[in-house]
């Protein structure tokens, strides 16, 4: 019997890093904490099974999250319109700033604007889910100042990226 299973240890770390980001993302789509818990459980269960094959943890988790939510609605709530749950595309046209939104999305997705996966998680927690620096820090094992510093750097990078793409002042977008 192994004293400490390396895979379990590795999984625990990844789980601890991404759990809140995944849970928050699921909750914003299903709006029910109990369902969000079940879906998060299922996403990470699948992650454990496929861990050896996964190269980009974040991409895999958020991709699987989408699939699991679709399955959830198909089996439990067949009357719900899936497009309403994943409303990104709809928003593009509703706001009428299709191109700008695509540029911002590219900026958010670009690896160049994030130093590492932790930067992305900080961005997900602070910018997307409105988490405080302190809470994000506790979840990730950083201090409040560390999170704040990293977040400032991310915003700086994204702003610079938008400038490169012709958006000289982000204030103009408001």
- Considering only 50, 56, 67, 143, the residue that binds another protein (CB under 8 A) is 143
Residue 89 found at the interface with another protein (CB under 8 A):
no
- Considering only 80, 82, 160, 170, the residue that binds another protein (CB under 8 A) is 170
Q: How far apart are CA 91 and CA 39, in angstroms?
A: 25
Residue 110 found at the interface with another protein (CB under 8 A):
no
Q: How far apart are CA 94 and CA 88, in angstroms?
A: 10
Q: How far apart are CA 151 and CA 27, in angstroms?
A: 23
Q: Which residues contact 7 (CB under 8 A, 6 or more apart)?
A: 48, 51, 52
Angle (CA) 125-12-136 rounded to 5° is: 20
Write out the binding residues for another protein, residues 55-84 only, by CB under 8 A. Answer: none
Total number of residues that touch another protein (CB under 8 A) = 69
Q: Which is nearer to another protein, 78 or 81 (CB)?
A: 81
- Considering only 57, 66, 101, 119, the residue that binds another protein (CB under 8 A) is 101
Q: Which of 90, 57, 85, 89 is nearest to 72 (CA)?
A: 85
Whether 152 contacts 133, CB under 8 Å: no
Residue 36 found at the interface with another protein (CB under 8 A):
yes
Query: Which positions touch another protein (CB under 8 A)?
Result: 1-13, 15-16, 19-20, 23-25, 27-29, 33, 36-37, 40-41, 44-45, 48-49, 87-88, 91, 95, 97, 100-101, 104-105, 108, 127-131, 135, 137-146, 149, 151-152, 155-156, 158-159, 170-171, 173-174
């Amino acid at each position: 019997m192994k004293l400490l299973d390396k895979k379990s240890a590795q999984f625990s770390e990844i789980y601890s890093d991404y759990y809140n980001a995944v849970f928050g993302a699921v909750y914003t789509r299903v709006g029910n904490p109990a369902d969000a818990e079940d879906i998060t459980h299922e996403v990470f269960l699948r992650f454990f099974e496929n861990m050896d094959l996964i190269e980009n943890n974040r991409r895999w988790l958020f991709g699987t999250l989408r699939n699991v939510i679709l399955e959830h609605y198909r089996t439990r709530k067949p009357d719900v319109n899936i497009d309403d749950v994943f409303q990104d595309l709809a928003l593009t046209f509703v706001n009428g700033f299709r191109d700008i939104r695509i540029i911002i999305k590219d900026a958010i997705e670009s690896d160049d604007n994030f130093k590492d996966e932790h930067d992305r998680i900080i961005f997900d927690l602070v910018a997307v889910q409105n988490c405080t620096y302190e809470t994000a820090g506790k979840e990730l094992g950083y201090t409040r100042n560390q999170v704040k510093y990293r977040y400032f750097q991310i915003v700086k990078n994204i702003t610079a990226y938008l400038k490169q793409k012709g958006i000289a002042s982000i204030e103009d977008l408001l």
